[in-house]
Amino acid sequence: MRLILLGAPGVGKGTQANLLARKFAIPKVATGDILRAAVQEGTEIGIRAKRYMDAGELVPDKLMVELVEDRLAQADCRGGFVLDGFPRTLHQAQKLDKFLQQSQMPITAAVSIEVEQAEIVRRLTHRRICRHCGQDYNLIYNPPPEDNKCRICGGELYQREDDKEETIVRRLQVYRTETEPVKKFYAKKSKLKIVRGSGSTEEVFENLLAALTPAICT
Ligand code: AMP
The 10s digit of each residue's pLDDT in 137-180 is 999 988 999 999 999 999 999 999 899 998 999 999 999 999 99
Query: Is residue 161 within 8 Å of 54, Cβ to Cβ?
Result: yes
As to burial, measured by CB atoms within 10 angstroms (0-12 exposed, 13-18 middle, 19+ buried), residue 53 is: buried
**Residue 83, beta-bridge partner list:** 4, 29
| Prior bond of 87 cis (ω within 30°) | yes
Residue 217's pLDDT is 64
Residue 134's pLDDT is 87
Q: Residue 95 catalytic?
A: no
Contacts of residue 30, Cβ cutoff 8 Å, sequence gap at least 6: 14, 17, 83, 84, 85
Q: How confident is the model at residue 215 (pLDDT cuts 50, 70, 90)?
A: confident
- Mean pLDDT along residues 171-190: 96
Query: Is residue 6 within 8 Å of 111, Cβ to Cβ?
Result: yes
Backbone angles phi, psi at 120, to 5 degrees: -60, -45
Residue of 39, 53, 67, 160 to test ligand 1 pocket, by largest number of atoms within 8 Å of CB: 53
Q: From the CB of 52, is ligand 1 less than 6 Å away?
A: yes
Residue of 59, 129, 162 to test ligand 1 pocket, by largest number of atoms within 8 Å of CB: 59
Q: From the CB of 178, is ligand 1 less than 6 Å away?
A: no
| Mean pLDDT, all residues of the chain | 95
- Give the tens place of pLDDT for each residue, 66-104: 999 999 999 999 999 999 999 999 999 999 999 999 999
Residue 214's pLDDT is 80
Q: Give the lowest-confidence range in 30-39, 109-118, 209-218.
A: 209-218
- Mean pLDDT along residues 21-33: 97
One of 28, 36, 88, 95 is an active-site residue; which one?
88
Residue 202's pLDDT is 95
Query: Is residue 163 within 8 Å of 169, Cβ to Cβ?
Result: no
Residue 177's pLDDT is 97
Q: Residue 123 catalytic?
A: no
Edge-to-edge strands, sheet with 127-130? 136-138, 127-130, 157-158
**Which candidate, 158, 165, 171, places its Cα nearest to that of 55?**
171
